């Protein structure tokens, strides 16, 4: 059954004067109705989170670094491999490969409040 995943984002660059705002919807052909939401503190080396087996094939991940100072590196393919760096206060929305099973996180110099939401395909 198709479901709608809605999003909106915007950015503004004061130096160049470029600003952009977009919103949209993605239709997901959904086989199930499961999702995973978690808020955690990552510190002291790499932290991993397995995607719940109930979620099955992941489709999208929304994640946010709620820390006021430190960044966090995030990866989806293996230990020590990070594709994303979220600075303090940043958030991101990414499509995931359906085979993604684990999220790998490495906090900067101190504990980082990390929040994520994963939707089943």
Nearby residues of 16 by Cβ (< 8 Å), 6 or more positions away: none
Tokens found for residue 36: 């995973």
Short-list 50, 58, 37, CA closest to 114: 37
Task: For domain 31-120, give the CATH number.
Answer: 2.60.120.10
pTM of the full structure: 0.72
**Residue 25 confidence (pLDDT):** 57
More confident of the two residues 29 and 47: 47
Query: Any idea what the Cα angle at residue 72 is, between residues 118 and 104, rounded to 5°?
Result: 50
pLDDT tens readout for residues 6-41: 666 666 777 888 777 666 555 555 555 556 666 666
More confident of the two residues 108 and 31: 108
More confident of the two residues 94 and 26: 94
Alpha helices in the chain (DSSP H): none
């Amino acid at each position: 059954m198709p479901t709608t995943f809605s999003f909106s984002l915007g950015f503004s660059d004061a130096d160049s004067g470029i600003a952009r705002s977009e919103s949209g919807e993605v239709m997901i052909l959904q086989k199930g109705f499961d999702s995973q939401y978690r808020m955690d503190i990552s510190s002291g080396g790499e932290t991993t989170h397995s995607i719940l087996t109930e979620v099955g094939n992941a489709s999208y991940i929304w994640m946010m670094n709620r820390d006021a100072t430190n960044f966090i590196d995030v990866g989806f393919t293996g230990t020590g491999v990070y594709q994303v760096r979220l600075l303090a206060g940043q958030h991101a929305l990414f499509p995931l490969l359906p085979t993604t099973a684990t999220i790998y996180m490495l906090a900067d110099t101190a504990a980082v409040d990390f929040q994520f939401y994963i939707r089943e395909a």
